[in-house]
Amino acid sequence: MNNTLKAELWKQYGAALDMLENALVKCPDTLWDGEDKFWYNAYHCLFFTDYDLTTDPENFHPPEPYTMSEMDPSGIMPERTYSKEELISYLRHSREKARKLLGRPIVELSIMRWNNQRRNYSMIEHLLHSMRHIQHHTGQLNMMLGKIDHDLPIWVSQTKVEL
């Protein structure tokens, strides 16, 4: 892998985060904590984005005020509804975490492994896996938005944020 590929990976990973942010910004208050739990779908995506960007997943802890509820095997939801501002802040935290990870030397990135009890991936494959997870949930959020307003957030081809 060379620096061009690393930059292109960032442009696409960043674009996935941009699209998720666009859906968060577009969500009206009436949908945020409605029947479909827009906020929770977004939170789930952001929690696992943060987790996926961790180089030592066995010692992962999200930043305050977020909890480890997503790791509870009983499927318990967080104790409270997170606000739009809190989730946008969490997204920005993950964007910076991704920038730092992809800013590492190319040789280091190419040999890193992402390992937990269920997966043993190269870091590159894991970043692609994570990007697909972000897009999956962004699609769900856009579907929820489309039920009430057909003026959906635009497609982002590449992030404008520099690596």
What is the sign, positive or negative, of the torsion defined by CA atoms of 35, 18, 62, 53? positive
Distance CA 159, CA 103 (A): 15
Residue 21 lies inside a defined structural domain of this protein:
yes
pLDDT on residue 76: 86
Residue 161 lies inside a defined structural domain of this protein:
no
C-beta of residue 39 within 8 angstroms of C-beta of residue 32: yes
CA 36 distance to own-chain centroid: 19
- Specify the CATH number for the domain of residue 141: 1.20.120
Q: What is the mean pLDDT of residues 89-97?
A: 98
Residue 74 in this model has a pLDDT that exceeds 90? no
At residue 60, φ and ψ (nearest 5 deg) are -70, 140
Beta bridge partners of 113: 122
Q: What is the mean pLDDT of residues 125-142?
A: 97
pLDDT on residue 18: 98
C-beta of residue 118 within 8 angstroms of C-beta of residue 104: no
Residue 69 lies inside a defined structural domain of this protein:
yes
Identify the domain containing residue 127 by its residue range.
3-148
What is the token pair recorded at 85? 């501002």
Residue 153 lies inside a defined structural domain of this protein:
no
At residue 83, φ and ψ (nearest 5 deg) are -75, 165
pLDDT on residue 93: 98
- Count of domains observed in the chain: 1
pLDDT, tens digit (0-9, with 9 covering 90-100), for 103-129: 998 888 889 999 988 889 999 999 999
Residue 133 lies inside a defined structural domain of this protein:
yes
Angle between the N-to-C axes of helices 3-26 and 84-102, in degrees from 0 to 180, rounded to the nearest 10: 180
Q: Which amino acid is at 29?
A: D
Residue 106 lies inside a defined structural domain of this protein:
yes
How many residues are recorded in the chain?
Answer: 163
Residue 154 lies inside a defined structural domain of this protein:
no
Residue 17 lies inside a defined structural domain of this protein:
yes
Distance CA 20, CA 101 (A): 19
What is the token pair recorded at 121? 């991936």
